[in-house]
């Protein structure tokens, strides 16, 4: 919502529903956190065609609003499609953003990760992630750069790829995007937890398929015994129960996220002891 006051404009940080409590707000100018005196829902700014502003509810800074231009539709800005992404080790991910260069022409652009800054020749000059030996053969760019959209694709993901990724572009007069919060990627494997791993017949066993972060979108789980799918076992719950266990349930178990059955968890072995029934 914009209110025109001569050379000033008023920005409003709004939500689609009313937040409980008395939230305060964080304001950003061109990606930089503004002074704490701006902890209000409205913020007045002087018009400058280059400046882009965004806001967030304090305590939820990773859920920042898209940047808006103070003057017209064009300004320097970088807006990421997602702030956080959780994906499986061994799979691929697309990290994307839109950006604007105002009235300047983009001369070059690149993706980088601050995590890799130790290997940069200049500590404050980001280097293109496609030149990083750790990502050799696993990264590529996509998107229509001339239309203000770019995508970084990383394949064969490894846990060490977990990091923040940022996009910057250069114009004839400046570099934009370095100070903007990027997209945080978490790469997780799939782990099966079995409780307990040894039981007597007619006791209960719980299998839980765990990841370090919540996969997006929420998916279903597939369950396996001795390397073979368990019939009618797919579930949207990460928990699968043997209730009660029998001697036939003994074996090696694993799980996988549906759609990524080629990336199952390591196997865990269930031992079922026979119940000795004697008569007198």
Tell me phi and psi for residue 86, to 5 degrees. -120, 120
Instruction: Please name the CATH architecture into which domain 189-273 falls.
Output: Sandwich (2.60)
Domain boundaries along the sequence of the chain:
1-72, 74-188, 189-273
Instruction: Please name the CATH architecture into which domain 1-72 falls.
Output: Sandwich (2.60)
State whether CATH 2.60.40.10 applies to domain 74-188. Answer: yes
Q: Contact at 8 Å (CB) between 163 and 105?
A: no
Tell me whether the CATH fold assigned to 74-188 matches the one assigned to 189-273.
Answer: yes
From first to last of its 280 residues, what are the pLDDT tens digits of the chain? 344 444 678 888 988 888 888 888 988 887 778 876 667 888 888 766 567 788 889 888 877 787 787 766 667 778 888 989 999 999 999 999 988 777 678 888 999 999 998 888 877 788 999 999 999 999 999 876 557 899 999 999 999 999 999 998 888 777 776 767 899 999 999 999 999 999 999 999 999 999 999 887 777 999 999 999 999 888 889 999 998 999 999 999 999 998 889 999 999 999 999 876 654 4
| Sign of the CA dihedral running 243, 245, 249, 251 | positive
How many CA atoms are closer than 13 Å to the CA of 198, on its beta-carbon side? 1
């Amino acid at each position: 919502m914009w209110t025109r006051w001569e050379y000033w404009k008023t920005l409003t940080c709004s939500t689609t529903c009313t937040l409980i409590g008395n939230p305060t707000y964080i304001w950003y100018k061109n990606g930089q956190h503004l002074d704490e005196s701006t902890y209000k829902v409205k913020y007045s700014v002087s018009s400058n065609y280059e400046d882009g502003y965004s806001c967030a509810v304090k305590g939820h800074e990773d859920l920042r609003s898209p940047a808006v231009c103070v003057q017209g539709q064009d300004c320097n800005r970088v807006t990421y499609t997602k702030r956080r992404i959780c994906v499986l080790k061994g799979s691929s991910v697309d990290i994307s953003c839109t950006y604007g260069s105002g009235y300047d022409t983009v001369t070059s652009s690149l993706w980088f990760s601050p995590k890799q800054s130790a290997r940069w020749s200049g500590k404050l000059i980001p280097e293109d992630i496609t030149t990083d030996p750790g990502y050799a053969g696993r990264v590529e760019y996509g998107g229509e750069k001339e239309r203000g959209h770019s995508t970084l694709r990383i394949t064969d993901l490894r846990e060490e790829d977990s990091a923040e990724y940022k996009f910057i572009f250069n114009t004839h007069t400046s570099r934009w995007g370095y100070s903007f919060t990027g997209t945080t990627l978490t790469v997780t494997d799939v782990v099966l937890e079995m409780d307990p791993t040894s039981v007597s017949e007619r006791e209960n066993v719980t299998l839980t398929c765990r990841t370090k972060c919540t996969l997006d979108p929420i998916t279903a789980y597939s369950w396996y015994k001795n390397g073979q799918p368990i019939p009618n076992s797919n579930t949207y719950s990460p928990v699968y129960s043997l209730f009660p266990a029998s001697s036939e349930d003994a074996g090696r178990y694993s799980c996988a996220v549906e759609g990524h059955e080629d990336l199952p968890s390591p196997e865990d072995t269930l031992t079922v002891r026979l119940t000795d029934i004697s008569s007198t």
